[in-house]
Amino acid sequence: MALSLRKKQLDLITRMLHLNQQQSSPDGGGDGEEEAYKILVMDGPCISLLSPVLRVGDLRKHGVTLHLNIDKARQQVPDAPAVYLVRPTPANADRIAADAAAGLYASFHINFSTSVPRPVLERLASATAASRSAHRVARVADQYLDFTCLEDGLFSLAQPRAYVSLNDPAAADADITAVVDAIALGLFCVASTLGTVPIIRCARGGPAEMVAAALDARLRDHLLAKPNLFTEAASSAASSFQRPVLCLFDRNFELSVGIQHDWSYRPLVHDVLSLKLNKLKLPTEKYDLDDSDPFWVANSWLEFPEVAKEIEAQLAKYKQDVDEVNQRTGGGRDGVEFDGTDLIGNTKHLMNAVNSLPELTDRKKMIDKHTNIATALLARIKERSLDGYYRCENDMLENGTVDRSMLLSLLSGKGTKEDKLRLAVTYLLSFEAPPPSELEQVEAALRESDVDMSAFLYVKRIKSLNTQFAAASSTASRSNIVDWAEKLYGQSISAVTNYLSDGRQLALTRTVEALMEGKPNPEVDNYILFDPRAPRSGTGGQFRGPFREAIVFMIGGGNYIEYRSLIELGQRSQPSKHVIYGATEILNGVEFIQQLAELGQKAGLGSGGSNLPSQ
Amino acid sequence: MSRVRDRTEDYKDSVRVAALSHGYTESQLAALMSSFIIRKPSPRSPFTNAAVKTLESIRELEKFIVKHRKDYVDMHRTTEQERDTIEHEVGVFVKACKEQIDILKNRIHEDERNKRAKTWLGTSDENSRLDLIAHQHGVVLILSERLHSVTAQFDRLRSMRFQEAINRAMPRKKFKKKPETKLAETPKSNLVLQSDVSKSGDQEVSTAPLRVQEQLLDDETRALQVELSNLLDTVQETETKMIEMSALNHLMSTHVLQQAQQIQYLYDQAVEATNNVERGNKELSQAIQRNSSSRTFLLLFFFVLTFSVLFLDWYKN
C-alpha cells in the first residue's frame, strides 16, 4: 500500500466538493447534479491549504463557480449551495451564522478542517436558532484536513514559529501545552487522512515525547468511540506489518541541517528565492514549481552546475526539433517540388507539425522559466559567493577539517549577514571543542561585519550547557521547562557529534533507518514506543519493526535537504520503502537563523554579549 | 471509506437545545426538526434551471457520442454515409447546446443592464449583485468548458477517420502502381516477343498480312489499356489529394477558430487602448493649456497685488 498523502487529501477534498454524494456514473441519473454549481467559501489558512493541491481550473471541473474568502464582504447568491471549509474558531462560527441569518446562499454545507470543539458548535447552533435560519444548514462535518500537502511525500502543518514557542525560556506551561496539542491534532489529521494508526517512536525527554504522548492519548480516545475513522482501515491492514512507524524528532536533534547552505537546485531555490507553497515570486513574474513541471520533477535534486547543463541540453534539443519541423514543412527550402509522393508526405508532416506546435510552445515556456530562475539564482550566488560558503560548510561538516583562512575570509567578505551567521554557527556545531583562539577570531570577524550576535551566542550557550549537563541522568521531572530543555540539548548534541564523525549521512536518516529496520541498535533502543492500538496496561506485542513505511515528523523547522535524504533512503533500501516527511513548517536557512536569533534575544543574549558563559 | 466525521447530529441536538432556550414554541420546534429531516428544495431562479437543462443536454450529447463511437471508428461496421449522418447529427446537437449557452450569457448581460437602468441611484444595489453575476458567469464558463471537452473528444474521432481514409487511399495507389508497371512491362515484352516471332514469321510469307493486322489491333488495345490505367492513376491521385486537403482544412479550421476568439479579444483590447490613449492625449493638452493660462493669471494676480500694496503705501504716506 503506497501512501500517497497528496492523493488521499485530494480525494477527500473532491468528495467534499461533490457534497459528499455518491459519484454518479455517466449513465446514472442526474440526481447528484441538482446542486451542480456551488460556491466555495474558505478562510485564509484553508485557502493556502488548498492551493498546492487544486488549481482554479480544477475547481471548475468539480462544479465550483466561485471561491471566496470568508472575511471579505460577500453578496447574495440566492440559488446556489455554499460549501464552507474553515477552521473551527468562534470567529468563523459567528461569520457563518451571520451569513445564514442574511440568507446569502440556498444551503450551507459546513466543513471544518479539524474536529470542531463542542462550545464552538453550540455557539453556531444558538446563533442560527436565534435568527431562525437553522434550517438552511444542510450538513456539518469534520474533515480532518488541516495540513498542507506540498508534494506526494511532503507535508507541513503551517504552524509558524513552533520552534521558538517550544524553546522560549520564558514560555509558560500553558503555552507549551497549547503548542503540543496543536501539533498532536495536526498529526492526527495526517494519520486519519492516511487511514492508518501508526506506531509512534520518539526520543526520550523533550517536546517529541510530549507530542507523542498527546497524540497517543488522542488516538486511543478516538479508537474507543464508535464509529471511528479507522474501522474500515482496520480490516485492510490487519497485520501490524502494514502499519507505518511515525518517528518524531525535535529540531534540536540536528540543528546544523536547518541552517546549512546546500548546492542542489531545489534547496537553493527555496533558500535564495524563497519558494513558498510551491510558488515562486521573482521581481518580474511568478512561477509555479510543482508536479506539473516535468523538468522540475526530473532535475530538482541535481547540483546547480548540472542543472544549468541540463537546461542547455533541453534548449539544444528544442532548437533541433523546431528546425526539423521547419525543414519538413518546406520552411526554408528554395523551390517547391510538386512531386506526387512528396506532396503526400509533405502534408502528413504538416499535420504532424501543426499538432506538435502546442507541445513545442509548452516546452519553450518551461525552458524559459527555468532559464530565468537559474539566471536569478546565479546572480544572487555571485553576489553572495554562496559557493564558497557551501564548500566551507561541507568541509567542516563532512570532513571535520576547517580551512581557517578561508573561513575568516568568507566571514569578512561577500555575503549577507545571515550567510555569515550561518557559517559561524555551522562552525560552532561541527566541532566539539573549538580552539578558543579560532573562536575569538571568528567572533571578532563577525562583530566587524556588524552581524547581530544573538543567534551565535544562543547556540554557544546551548553547547556550554551541554558540556555541563552531559553527565546528568535521563530521569528528571519535567515541570521546570529550563531543566528539560537543557536535558534535551545534552542528549541531542552529543548524539550529533557521535554521528558526525562517521561521514556525512544525516543523523536523522540514520535514526530513521534504524527505526525502520527494527534490529536492536544502541542508538535507538532507548526510544520510547507508543502503540495506540495495544491495550494500555498490557505488555502485549511491542512491535518494533521492520516497517515498510514511515512517517517522519520534525518539530520545529523542516527542510528540503532532509526531505531529499529521506527520499534517497527510501530508494536505497530493498525492497524499496516509502517515507513521508513532514514538519510544523518548512523553513529555509535564513528564516531558521532568524528564529534562533529571536530565541537568543529572548534569552537575554543580545548584542551586548556581556553574559558569555566561560568555556 | 469515510474519513470524515459527520457532526450533523450533534449540530441538530445543539440547535434543539438552543431553540428551547431562545423560546421557540412547540410547533416551531417541530417545524424546525422536520425541516432538518425533509429538506425542502429551495426555489431556483430561471437562470439556474436553464443552466441545469443545458448541462443535461450536454450530457446527452456525450452519451450519444460514446454509444456510436465504436460504429464510427471501426472500419467495417458502418458505411461512409452512416458516418456522415452521425457527424451531421453531432454537429447539430453541438450547435443547439452552443445556442443555449449563448442565450444564458446574453441573459446575464441583459439582467445587468436592466438593473442598472432601473436603479440609477442605487449603486449599492449593483454591488449586491456582483457575486451573483460572477456566479452566473462561472456557471456559463463551466458549461462552455464541458462542451469544449466533448467536442474535442469528437474531433479526435474525426481526425482518426481522416487518417484512416488517407491510409486506405495510399496503399491502394502503391499496389496499383506495382501491377501497372508489371502490366506495362508485359506488353512491351509481349511486343518484343511478338516482333521476334513476327520477324521469324515474316519468313513465312503466306500469313504475314493477317498477322500484321492482328498485331496492329493488339497494339491499339494495349495502348488504350495503358492510357486508361494512366487516367485511373491520376484520378486516384486527385482523390487522395482531395482527402488530404479536407483533412488539412479541418485541422486548420479548428486551430483558426481557437485563435479567432483570442484575436477578437486582442482586437477589442487594442481598440480600447487607442481610445484611452486618445483621451489621455486630450486631457494632457487641456492640462497644458490650463497650466499656461493659470501661469499668466497667477503673474497678473501678483502684479496687481504688488501694485496695490505700493499704492496703499504711497496713499498712507
pLDDT of residue B206: 59
Q: Residue A353: in which H helix or E strand, if any?
A: helix A340-384
Q: Report which of A393, A391, A389, A368 is spatially closest to residue A380, judged by C-alpha positions.
A: A389
Distance from CA of A141 to the nearest CA of B (A): 4
Determine the Cα angle at A295 with ends A294 and A296, to 5°.
90
> Of A450-454, A475-479, B272-276, B292-296, which range is least confident?
A475-479
Query: Which of A391-395, B4-8, B178-182, B277-281 shows the highest mean pLDDT?
Result: B277-281
Which residue among A128, A142, A229 sits closest to B15, beta carbon to beta carbon?
A128
Contact A129 B252 (CB under 8 A): no
- What tens digit of pLDDT does each residue of B205-250 get? 557 788 889 999 999 999 999 999 999 999 988 887 887 788 778 7
Shortest CA distance from B245: residue in chain A: A347
B299 has a pLDDT exceeding 90:
yes
Which residue among A26, A121, A124 sits closest to B63, beta carbon to beta carbon?
A26
Burial of A201 (0-12, 13-18, 19+ CB in 10 A): buried
Shortest CA distance from B248: residue in chain A: A351
Distance from CA of B81 to the nearest CA of A (A): 25
Contact A30 B66 (CB under 8 A): no
Interface test with B, best of A37, A109, A236, A350 (most B CBs within 10 A): A37
Question: Span A336-356, mean pLDDT?
Answer: 64
B183 has a pLDDT exceeding 60:
no
Distance from CA of B267 to the nearest CA of A (A): 23
- What tens digit of pLDDT does each residue of A499-541 get? 333 335 788 888 888 888 877 777 777 788 888 877 765 555 5
Handedness of CA A358, A364, A370, A372 (dihedral sign): negative
φ, ψ for residue A130, nearest 5 deg: -65, -35
- What tens digit of pLDDT does each residue of A275-292 get? 888 888 888 888 888 878
pLDDT of residue B314: 94
pLDDT of residue B214: 93
CB A18 within 8 A of CB A63: yes
| Rounded alpha-carbon distances, angstroms, from residue A534 to A219, A440, A515 | 11, 54, 19
> Of A51-55, A519-523, A609-613, B154-158, which range is least confident?
A609-613
Of chain B, the percentage scoring pLDDT greater than 70 comes to 79
Interface test with A, best of B7, B62, B133, B235 (most A CBs within 10 A): B7
**Which of helix, strand or coil describes residue A520?**
coil
Which residue among A79, A134, A348 sits closest to B44, beta carbon to beta carbon?
A79
**Which of helix, strand or coil describes residue B150?**
helix
Which residue among B22, B59, B142 sits closest to A65, beta carbon to beta carbon?
B142
A158: which residues sit within 8 A by CB, 6+ positions away?
Answer: A45, A48, A49, A147, A148, A585
A423: which residues sit within 8 A by CB, 6+ positions away?
Answer: A261, A389, A392, A393, A407, A410, A411, A415
Which residue among B15, B32, B55 sits closest to A36, beta carbon to beta carbon?
B55
pLDDT of residue A206: 78
Residue A33 forms contact with B (CB below 8 Å): yes
Query: Which chain B positions have a beta carbon within 8 Å of A188's beta carbon?
Result: none
Query: Which of A100-114, A310-324, A562-576 shows the highest mean pLDDT?
Result: A310-324
Interface test with A, best of B2, B3, B233 (most A CBs within 10 A): B3
Angle between helices A417-430 and A386-394 (to 10 degrees): 10
CA atoms within 13 A on the CB side of B53: 15
pLDDT of residue B271: 95
pLDDT of residue A335: 43
CB A200 within 8 A of CB A246: yes
Q: Residue A250: in which H helix or E strand, if any?
A: strand A245-250
pLDDT of residue B199: 52
Distance from CA of B176 to the nearest CA of A (A): 14
Query: Which chain B positions have a beta carbon within 8 Å of A192's beta carbon?
Result: 3
How many other β-carbons are positioned within 10 Å of the β-carbon of residue B44?
Answer: 15
pLDDT of residue A15: 84
Contact A354 B39 (CB under 8 A): no
Contact A78 B45 (CB under 8 A): yes
Which residue among A75, A111, A130 sits closest to B131, beta carbon to beta carbon?
A75
A486 has a pLDDT exceeding 60:
no
Query: Which chain A positions have a beta carbon within 8 Å of B139's beta carbon?
Result: 37, 65
Which residue among B7, B35, B251 sits closest to A141, beta carbon to beta carbon?
B7
Shortest CA distance from A67: residue in chain B: B135
Burial of A233 (0-12, 13-18, 19+ CB in 10 A): buried
Mean of the per-residue pLDDT values of chain A: 77
How many other β-carbons are positioned within 10 Å of the β-carbon of residue A132?
Answer: 15
CB A556 within 8 A of CB A180: no
Question: First CA to last CA across chain A, in angstroms?
Answer: 53
Of chain A, the percentage scoring pLDDT greater than 70 comes to 81
Contact B18 A27 (CB under 8 A): no
The three cell numbers locating residue A577: 520503502
pLDDT of residue A3: 63
A270 has a pLDDT exceeding 60:
yes
How many other β-carbons are positioned within 10 Å of the β-carbon of residue B103?
Answer: 11
B65 has a pLDDT exceeding 90:
no
A118: which residues sit within 8 A by CB, 6+ positions away?
Answer: B10
Contact B42 A107 (CB under 8 A): yes
Q: In this predicted complex, what is the ipTM? A: 0.70
B265 has a pLDDT exceeding 50:
yes
Residue A223 forms contact with B (CB below 8 Å): no
Radius of gyration of chain A (CA): 28
Shortest CA distance from B250: residue in chain A: A351
Query: Which chain A positions have a beta carbon within 8 Å of B3's beta carbon?
Result: 8, 12, 144, 192-193, 195, 229
| Rounded alpha-carbon distances, angstroms, from residue A37 to A18, A34, A63, A66, B55 | 10, 8, 5, 9, 11
Confidence of residue A334 (pLDDT cuts 50, 70, 90): very low
pLDDT of residue A475: 30
- What tens digit of pLDDT does each residue of A134-169 get? 788 888 888 888 888 888 888 888 888 888 888 887
Which residue among B3, B11, B17 sits closest to A192, beta carbon to beta carbon?
B3
Contact A60 B21 (CB under 8 A): no
C-alpha span between A412 and A405 (Å, rounded): 11
Query: Which chain A positions have a beta carbon within 8 Å of B42's beta carbon?
Result: 78-79, 106-107
- What tens digit of pLDDT does each residue of A185-241 get? 999 888 888 888 888 888 877 788 888 889 988 888 888 875 566 654 554 444 445
Query: Which chain B positions have a beta carbon within 8 Å of A12's beta carbon?
Result: 3-4
Shortest CA distance from A236: residue in chain B: B1
Which residue among B17, B131, B247 sits closest to A351, beta carbon to beta carbon?
B247
Residue A32 forms contact with B (CB below 8 Å): no
Residue A511 forms contact with B (CB below 8 Å): no
Contact B240 A77 (CB under 8 A): no
Q: Report which of A341, A76, A277 is spatially closest to residue B244, judged by C-alpha positions.
A: A341
For chains A and B, CB pairs below 8 A equal 167
Of chain A, the percentage scoring pLDDT greater than 90 comes to 3
CB A377 within 8 A of CB A272: yes
Contact B135 A66 (CB under 8 A): yes
Confidence of residue A496 (pLDDT cuts 50, 70, 90): very low
pLDDT of residue A258: 82
C-alpha span between A490 and A497 (Å, rounded): 11
Handedness of CA A341, A347, A351, A352 (dihedral sign): positive
Contact A135 B32 (CB under 8 A): yes
Confidence of residue A55 (pLDDT cuts 50, 70, 90): confident
Determine the Cα angle at A295 with ends A274 and A10, to 5°.
75
